[in-house]
Structure 1
Amino acid sequence: MTLSVVDYTDKNAPELFVKSLRETGFGVLKNHPIQQSLVESIYHNWQEFFNNHGKQEFAFDVEKQDGYFSSEISEVAKGHTQKDIKEYFHVYPWGRIPDSLKDEILNYYQLASNLASELLDWVEAYSPEDVAKNYSQPLSSMIKDTPNTLLRILHYPPLTGDEEAGAIRAAAHEDINLLTILPAANEPGLQVQCQDGSWINVPSDFGNLIINIGDMLQEASGGYFPSTTHRVINPTGKASTKSRISLPLFLHPCSDVKLSEEHTQASYLLERLRELGVK
């Protein structure tokens, strides 16, 4: 299996993109509207934030889940025992953000959210009729004015050789949300698992936009769109001395949106956060 890159400007882009999502759980776009210069600036500015001890002033709020999460309390992926080798910051428009970084990151949050709404329209347009009828409302309206969409700035620090045995930058996992929007990181390492259990590299050319399905879209589509297992592997050689910054936007519906007969967004999220040990 290979992941093809879809040109956002191609007239067939919506169909090709949704086909890739359906078959692999991932879609990769080039020539999309998010400027690479903005992403580069964010990577640079947040690298400085993670290098600074002042980050501790923004230690995360247990109830609100905003702010800085150190590597000591980093996630343990479902089914794993080692913590991921990473630290990260949760950005919500209503949350705490360092003043010097706020305008730029919220501009990106809005741009990526707008594009995400369009991509959800693509998904709905190319959902079979028997799948689409299960959506409790149009997919893009599920995220309209939502306070729940999360932008996570991830920092994978250089490896020191003292890491816990078996730990990697991000252990194999699925995302919780509808879709995840991710600019290609400044270093490679993202892999997706094929149906036969093998792993392939996600095209990571700087400037690509990587989109994957989360559990909530799988739930809403009755399993038609698969939430695909992915991971970030540890680099080797000279690459292991470099930091990796990543910028996933996790699209979450409003809390009362009905995903299925069994779950709203709120009930589904709570169940998963408890599994991850962060609630």
Structure 2
Amino acid sequence: MLLDEIPSLDLADFRSTDPARKANFVQDLGHAFNTIGFVAIKGHGLSEPFTNSLYQQVETFFKSADEVKKPYEIAGISGQRGYVGKGKETAKGFNVPDLKEFYHVGQPFKEDGDSVWDEYPSNVFPNEFPEFEKYTVEAFQTLESAGKSLLQAIALYLELPEDYFEPRVVNGNSILRAIHYFPIENPDALPVGAVRAAAHGDINLITLLMGASAEGLEVLRMDGKWIAITALPDQLVVNVGDMLDRLT
């Protein structure tokens, strides 16, 4: 049966010591990903006060002048870290850039001797906003923890060892992306076909989306119908990606 809305689950069920709650979560998660590919998750670890402070830091940065933001757009790393300006990203199969700007924060460096650190660009944070690093790094780490729990549940649903994905995501090159869909002051001047974010698939294992400040997210069902997704403020929207398909 095709769904008209995405299921809502509580990650606390999977993290509980009750085997029945954990098993039910695993089956419900697997069913959601099999039928629509998306699920809304609460109990992920991001509190409302923290989320409000995080959004305040990010919003303050994006509202700053272009000359403040531009120094954090780092050449030669294809936008893997730091600021990426307006009109710089174009979805696969499209010729017109998306109407957005964003900021990337990657894996915080650890002194653990892992050679992977030689491959990753260093994070860059805006000096003008001293708490930007604090909130974005904590958000990264909390979401990474939630993502690992979800991967454990996926592994169990696929009848794999619970830690099947763990070696593949230790110090993984995940990215926290804060997106700003800036105001359109002159719609008539936009390129033909320009949109906020063009239709696309995700290459990742899984993607965790925090609640947006406005509606607009839609997902494509297997029958070709687009349905609007509205998550509650305390929920993440989670979807599976191409890497998960390849690994399993």
In the alignment, which of 177, 185, 197 is matched to residue 170 of structure 1? 197
SS across alignment from 1:167: coil
Q: Which structure has the greater CA radius of gyration? A: 2
Of the candidates 65, 82, 91, which is equivalent to residue 96 of structure 2? 82
Alignment correspondent of 2:125: 97
How far did 1:24 drift?
1.0
What is the TM-score normalised by the length of structure 2? 0.80
Note the C-alpha offset of 1:62.
Answer: 2.2
Partners of 1:61 and 1:120 in 2: CA distance = 33
C-alpha deviations, 1:45-82, integer Å up to 9, x for none?
A: 11110111211110133236211111132x11111111
Match of 1:69 among 78, 84, 94: 84
Structure 1 residue 27, shift from structure 2 partner? 1.3
Q: Are 2:96 and 2:193, in contact at CA under 8 Å, matched by a contact in 1?
A: yes
State how many pairs are aligned. 214
SS at match of 2:60: helix
Q: Secondary structure at the match of 2:198?
A: strand
State the 4+ residue runs in structure 1 displaced beyond 3 angstroms: none
Counterpart pick for 2:238 among 211, 236, 257: 211
Runs (5+) with no aligned partner, structure 1? 222-279
Partners of 1:27 and 1:210 within 8 A in 2: yes
Contact 1:17 1:28 in 2 (8 A): no
1:1-279 aligned within 5 A = 1-2=3-4, 3-10=6-13, 11=21, 12-53=24-65, 54-63=68-77, 65-73=80-88, 75-92=89-106, 93=108, 94-99=122-127, 100=130, 101-127=132-158, 129=159, 132=160, 138-146=164-172, 148-160=173-185, 161=187, 162-221=189-248
Mapped contact 2:30–2:154 kept (Cα < 8 A): yes
SS at match of 1:188: coil
Give yes or no for contact 1:186–1:206 (8 Å, CA) kept in 2: no
Q: Cα deviation per residue 1:79-122 (whole Å; 9 max; x = unaligned)?
A: 11111110011112231112411111111111111111111000
Cα RMSD after superposing both structures: 2.0
1: distance between equivalents of 2:246 and 2:181? 30
Aligned to 1:230: none
Q: Give percent identity, aligned residues only.
A: 30
Deviates more, 1:197-206 or 1:159-168: 159-168
CA apart distance, 1:193: 0.3
